[in-house]
């Protein structure tokens, strides 16, 4: 089992993820929401919700939202928001314990792409989408995003002969828009539309004073020795060229399809 397939990993990372990743993934969640019209009558499912970037944003429309994740720690973060129209439940997105054709909109923002059987995850999303409803999936292009992308770029420059972190299979399989569209159709959806959305992750260079905290979730970091880590930090500072903030352009593909 790879680290990102283990709920214990996400349980231990939930607080850190909420502080560092949630505000950034929320930008893409808002972009995904903008592609549909939700109302207070809408029933929404967020699969692999993480700390709820999509679920909490969807709740602001007045829709009834169910947020699911296999990590109790992540689910706890969503529940702690205390929103009356959001229910948070621990659930495996590859085998949703939910009725067929129940939701008007089913989202997974950088979630289903982490599943060992991501095709099953997409099929489960489609199964619980009502006819006439929509499925919306976001995946990263290339080598991920934000600090993961920066670290990958620096490793490729400094240690070109060493292989980096293995990306989830779905990130590679869905990085081409045509392949992404085909996967949505294979899952049971129709009329897929794939769009690229780019946002800058604004890295506060002061965070490099604690690089193990900044990069510690990535095997690309934990596999380095102390000398190599120091070289990575130095290269990151060089890229900022004295600026207090280093923007890291990160591109996602957002797929929207009909049931």
7 confidence band (pLDDT: 50, 70, 90): confident
Token pair for 36: 């549909």
Structural domain 3-143+166-200+250-258, CATH architecture: 3-Layer(aba) Sandwich (3.40)
Q: Would you place residue 237 in the very low, low, confident or very high pLDDT band (cuts 50, 70, 90)?
A: very high
Q: Which of 28, 34, 73, 20 is nearest to 53 (CA)?
A: 28
The percent of residues above 70 in pLDDT, for the chain, comes to: 100
Instruction: Say if CB 110 and CB 28 are below 8 A apart.
Output: yes
- Give the pLDDT mean for 66-91: 98
Backbone phi, psi, residue 3, to 5°: -55, -45
| Residue whose entry in the numeric block shows the structure tokens 């996602």 | 252
- Annotate 34-97 with DSSP letters as a single string: TTS---TT-EEEEET-TTTHHHHHHHTTT-EEEEEES-HHHHHHHHHT--TTEEEEE--TTS--
Rounded mean pLDDT of 62-77?
98
Instruction: Calculate mean pLDDT across residues 19-34.
Output: 95
Tell me the two tokens of residue 196.
Answer: 């690229």
Say if residue 10's pLDDT is above 80. yes
Read off the pLDDT of each residue in 108-124 and give the average, rounded to a whole number: 98
Give the whole-angstrom CA distance, residue 74 versus residue 108.
Answer: 14
Q: What is the DSSP string of 186-209?
A: HHT-EEEEEEEEEEEEEEEGGGGG
d(CA 81, CA 258) in angstroms, rounded, equals 30
Average pLDDT for the chain: 95
Q: Tell me what pLDDT residue 1 has.
A: 65
**Confidence category of residue 3, pLDDT binned at 50, 70, 90:** confident
Minimum mean pLDDT among 8-22, 97-111, 209-223, 240-254: which range?
Answer: 8-22
Distance between CA atoms of residues 184 and 244, nearest Å = 41
Tell me: pLDDT of 201 over 80.
yes
**What is the reported pTM?**
0.94
């Amino acid at each position: 089992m790879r680290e990102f397939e283990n709920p214990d990993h996400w349980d231990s990372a939930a607080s850190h993820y909420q502080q560092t990743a949630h505000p950034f993934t929320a930008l893409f969640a808002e972009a995904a929401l903008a592609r549909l019209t939700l109302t207070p009558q809408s029933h929404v499912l967020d699969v692999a919700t993480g700390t709820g970037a999509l679920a909490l944003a969807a709740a602001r429309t007045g829709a009834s939202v169910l947020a699911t994740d296999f990590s109790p720690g992540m689910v706890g973060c969503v529940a702690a928001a205390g929103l009356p129209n959001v229910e948070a439940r621990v659930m495996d997105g590859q085998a949703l314990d939910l009725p067929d054709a129940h939701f008007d909109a089913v989202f997974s923002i950088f979630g289903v792409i982490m599943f060992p059987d991501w095709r099953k995850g997409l099929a489960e999303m489609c199964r619980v989408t009502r006819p006439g409803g929509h499925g919306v999936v976001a995946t990263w292009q290339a080598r991920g995003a934000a600090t993961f992308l920066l670290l990958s770029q620096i490793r490729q420059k400094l240690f070109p002969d060493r292989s980096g972190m293995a990306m989830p299979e779905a990130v590679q399989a869905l990085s081409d828009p045509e392949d992404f569209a085909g996967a949505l159709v294979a899952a049971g959806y129709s009329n897929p539309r794939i769009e690229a959305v780019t946002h800058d992750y604004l890295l506060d260079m002061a965070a490099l004073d604690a690089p193990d905290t900044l990069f510690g979730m990535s095997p690309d970091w934990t596999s380095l020795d102390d000398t190599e880590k120091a070289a990575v930090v130095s290269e990151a500072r060089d890229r900022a060229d004295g600026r207090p903030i280093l923007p890291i352009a990160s591109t996602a593909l957002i797929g929207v399809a009909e049931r």
